[in-house]
Amino acid sequence: MKAERREVKGGYLMSICVEELSPRDDQEHIDFLDRLGRTSPSVLGYYYPFYRDMLVEIGVGQPVYLGARRDGELVGLLPAFVRKSALGTVYCSLPYFGPNAGVLCGDEARAEIHSALLQALLDRARADDALSCAVYTPFMFDEFALYDAVMPEAIVVNKFTQYLDVRITTWDKGTIARNIRKAKKVGVEISLDITPERVETFYTIYERNCKDYGIPLKPRKCVDFLVSARVLGHYTSIYFAFHEGHMIGGLLVIWGPLVASYYIPCVLAEARTLQPGPALIERAIRDAKARGIRFWNWESSPSRESGVYRFKKKWGSVEGTYRIYVQAFRPRELFQRLGVDGILRHFPYFYVYPFDLL
């Protein structure tokens, strides 16, 4: 698939060509993200090919990664997935627990690149007779007018996230500092040494946490992929917390060029008072600083009243905003007939339609 748009720049007519990227383009894809990621915190680890491959591996859907080229050079990226079921087809950038996605590009020809990529995705979805197409806006990106211009009829869902600037945030005082000191005092130790047995225990603790607190569970294949030799150390790190020789918690982090994403934390319920969670986060943030990371991405929380939100707030977190643009190609009544259960069953991990409008 190729689409072309033209822009006038400096008196010259320049073309922006949109094409679907394949694994053959992965090195160019990576090089583009690495370059842009030197200055843009919007480049999260989720945009890289390894994460696409993980989503394919666990059966989320089929990738539709669109690249914008100008004079043959890759200048923009919009990652998306498509899911087909007996009830129809849906598109989303990116599905799977809602990481920020959307268009990535530099400052030059910003509006034109957004327009070309977003329009190409909508055209692809329409041609596929999709039920809907949802697009997340990127992390620490508030130029929503670029999305409004292309998707004026979309349902707009306003969301919030939390993050830290690790260069300036300290925990010398307060609850977090006390909890970190307590973990050290009682002998909590953090290790990055990985074995199959440790990964097994990590997942068991995580699975139990999800069951206890009603959290959607990421499948074991996801964790196994993200701690495989292919990505571990470069794009991911996994931390294990021990007390008296027993694992009591863990943390899986995904690295971008400037941003660390808090991906999977887990703590044994009976060991929470030992404060392994703060100890794990503090160690990961120290490592983030050593890697040249500037921001710690906490991801979104269920609500501002939730304990998860308040926990992140104690670290000195600030709020960021993002949006989900949902272009529905069917009347609201169809989605109401599907209902929450139908959408979750036929289109798992995809943002199909706002549940509060059903």
Q: What is the arithmetic mean of pLDDT over 179-186?
A: 97
Q: Which residues contact 162 (CB under 8 A, 6 or more apart)?
A: 298, 299, 300, 301, 309, 312, 313, 317, 318, 319, 320
Q: Is residue 292's pLDDT more than 70?
A: yes
Residues 270-285 have pLDDT tens digits of 999 999 999 999 999 9
> What percentage of the chain carries pLDDT values higher than 70?
96
| Long-range CB contacts for residues 347-350, cutoff 8 Å, separation at least 24 | 347/83, 347/85, 347/90, 348/60, 349/60, 349/61, 349/95, 349/96, 349/97, 350/61, 350/81, 350/83, 350/90, 350/92, 350/95, 350/134
pLDDT for residue 205? 98
- Here the tokens at position 21 are 């990227």
- Rounded to two decimals, the pTM is 0.93
Mean pLDDT calculated for residue range 234-261: 98
Whether residue 249 is predicted with pLDDT greater than 80 in this model: the reply is yes
Q: How confident is the model over 251-261, as a mean pLDDT?
A: 98
| Average pLDDT rounded to a whole number, residues 247-257 | 98
Mean model confidence pLDDT for the chain: 94
Pairing between β-strand 236-243 and β-strand 189-191 as defined by DSSP bridges: antiparallel
Of 41, 299, 286, 44, residue with least CA distance to 166 = 286
* pLDDT confidence of residue 13: 41
Most confident of 3-12, 97-106, 193-202: 193-202
Is pLDDT at 3 greater than 80 in this prediction? no
Confidence of residue 1 (pLDDT cuts 50, 70, 90): low
Determine contact, residues 27/38, Cβ cutoff 8 Å.
no
| Least confident piece of the model among 152-156, 225-229, 306-310 | 306-310
In this prediction, residues 87-113 reach a mean pLDDT of: 92
- At 307 the pLDDT is 87
127: pLDDT confidence band, cut at 50, 70 and 90?
A: very high
Reported confidence tier of residue 9, pLDDT bands at 50, 70, 90: very low
Query: For the segment 204-237, what is each residue's pLDDT rounded down to a tens digit?
Result: 999 999 999 988 999 999 999 999 999 999 999 9
**Confidence tier at 97 by pLDDT (50, 70, 90):** confident
Confidence category of residue 6, pLDDT binned at 50, 70, 90: low
pLDDT digits (tens, 9 = 90+) for 30-45: 999 999 999 999 999 9
- pLDDT score, position 262: 97
* pLDDT category of residue 7 using cuts at 50, 70 and 90: very low
Give the list of residues 6+ apart from residue 107 with CB closer than 8 angstroms, or none: none
| Stretch 305-316: mean pLDDT | 90
Give the count of beta carbons closer than 10 Å to the beta carbon of residue 59: 11
- Please tell me the predicted confidence (pLDDT) of residue 85: 96
Q: Is the pLDDT of residue 332 over 70?
A: yes
Average pLDDT of the residues in 97-115: 91
What's the pLDDT score for residue 12? Answer: 38
Extract the tokens encoding 338: 């599907």
Band of the pLDDT at 246, cuts 50, 70, 90?
Answer: very high
Cα separation, 42 vs 140, in Å, equals: 6
Separation of alpha carbons 36 and 103, rounded Å: 12
Six-digit token pair at 127?
């041609």
